[in-house]
Amino acid sequence: MSKIKAEYIWIDGHKPTAKLRSKTKVIDGLVNQLEDIPIWGFDGSSTMQAIGKDSDCMLKPVYFVPDPIRGNDNILVMNEVCSSDGSVHESNTRAHLVKVAETYKDHEPWFGIEQEYTFFVGRSPLGWPEGGYPAPQGPFYCGVGADEVFGRDIVEEHLDACLDAGIALSGINAEVMPGQWEFQIGPVGATDAADQLWLARWLLYRIAEEYGVNATLHPKPVAGDWNGAGAHTNFSTKAMRETGGMKVIEAACEALGKKHEEHIAVYGAHNEERLTGLHETCSIHEFRYGVSDRGASIRIPMAIVNDGHGYLEDRRPAANMDPYQVCAALIETCCA
């Protein structure tokens, strides 16, 4: 019987920001459906998910895609972490999103997530002079040319890998700070958007590894007059997308304003370093929404106002946010 390699990917218990982990299982025969992928386990005491004795944690496969790196019939498998008795582990934020998505499925929520990230080599962003600074921000956003753009080979390889894996990547762009990039996922449903974002992050780290480069999701990778890194989360429900949707979008913005602190609590660690009111952000201590306003917490894009329906852009989530928590919070606040 032929054998395939399944890369089991999961989210650890690291605080304040969880990290991705993975290991390989060789499986006999082909995988056609989720049920063909066996439950597996790992040592939770090495991932901040268990204490010494009784350290077995369970990996429950929940989503899989073709492995674009190993090719052939090999697969990448996203897992939920469960305790040894099969109950939901406290680090498992996906289980809650699955419940929320089911409860509000009639609203048909869609998400488009803009993932910003920064390449580093050692202690400097990629392309920055050793121990110094490049020219001030200005020419780098959507730039072209060896003096403005750093890491395009990695970015292109990542784009192809995501598309080969069937991830709903909808675009990429070079960002305002040199060495910083963005990819967008969606619009797709909540659980797909979040699973695919985690897998796309894993592919980014894995591909950059081949180049001796690491990608960081820190929301303020360089202090000072340099843009931070966010994960703008574009959100809509069926009612927002239909004629008259503008009223529903405004009502959602009002509801979000009343839950600002609860949202900030799950929008990523160190986000206060990024949401300063400068660099196209609104201060973390304020909530404002506005049309076309890149200095607001929530932006309603100009095209949406002109159409009278569409979606809103929550600009607050940091690049290192957990999409399971962010998507759940947006659905709970806007659909309840």
How far are the Cα atoms of 41, 63, 96, 301, 327 from residue 267, in angstroms, in the given order? 29, 24, 16, 21, 10
Q: Which of 93, 234, 271, 325 touches ligand ADP (CB under 6 A)?
A: 234
Check: CB of residue 257 under 8 Å from CB of residue 333: no
Q: Which stretch binds ligand ADP (CB under 6 A): 6-14, 134-142, 231-239, 283-291?
A: 231-239
How far are the Cα atoms of 115, 233, 243, 246, 304 from residue 301, in angstroms, in the given order? 18, 13, 16, 11, 5
Any contact of residue 228 with ligand ADP (CB under 6 A)? Answer: no
Residue 186 contact among ligand ADP, Mn ion, none, beta carbon within 5 to 8 Å by kind: ligand ADP
Here the tokens at position 259 are: 């839950």
Check: CB of residue 220 under 8 Å from CB of residue 151: no
Any contact of residue 314 with Mn ion (CB under 5 A)? Answer: no
Check: CB of residue 60 under 8 Å from CB of residue 79: yes
Any contact of residue 110 with ligand ADP (CB under 6 A)? Answer: yes
Here the tokens at position 164 are: 């080969």
Any contact of residue 241 with ligand ADP (CB under 6 A)? Answer: yes
Any contact of residue 292 with ligand ADP (CB under 6 A)? Answer: no
Residue 310 contact among Mn ion, ligand ADP, none, beta carbon within 5 to 8 Å by kind: ligand ADP
What's the first-to-final CA gap in the chain, in angstroms? 51
Any contact of residue 182 with Mn ion (CB under 5 A)? Answer: yes
Relative to beta strand 110-121, strand 214-216 is antiparallel
Cα–Cα nearest to 326, from 115, 75, 71: 115
Here the tokens at position 86 are: 């099969």
Here the tokens at position 280 are: 């196209």
How far are the Cα atoms of 126, 318, 321 from residue 14, in angstroms, in the given order? 26, 17, 13
Strand blocks (E) in 44-168 = 56-66, 75-83, 110-121, 124-125
Here the tokens at position 58 are: 């369970």
Any contact of residue 181 with ligand ADP (CB under 6 A)? Answer: no
CB of 110 vs Mn ion, minimal distance in Å: 16
Any contact of residue 235 with ligand ADP (CB under 6 A)? Answer: yes
Q: Which of 67, 80, 114, 192 touches Mn ion (CB under 5 A)?
A: 114
Any contact of residue 64 with ligand ADP (CB under 6 A)? Answer: no
Closer CB to ligand ADP, 198 or 311, in the complex: 311
Q: Which stretch binds Mn ion (CB under 5 A): 3-11, 67-75, 112-120, 300-308?
A: 112-120
Residue 44 contact among ligand ADP, Mn ion, none, beta carbon within 5 to 8 Å by kind: none
CB of 203 vs ligand ADP, minimal distance in Å: 17
Residue 38 contact among Mn ion, ligand ADP, none, beta carbon within 5 to 8 Å by kind: none
Q: Which residues bind Mn ion (CB under 5 A)?
A: 114, 182, 232
Q: Which residues bind ligand ADP (CB under 6 A)?
A: 110-112, 114, 170-171, 184, 186-187, 232, 234-236, 241, 310-311, 313
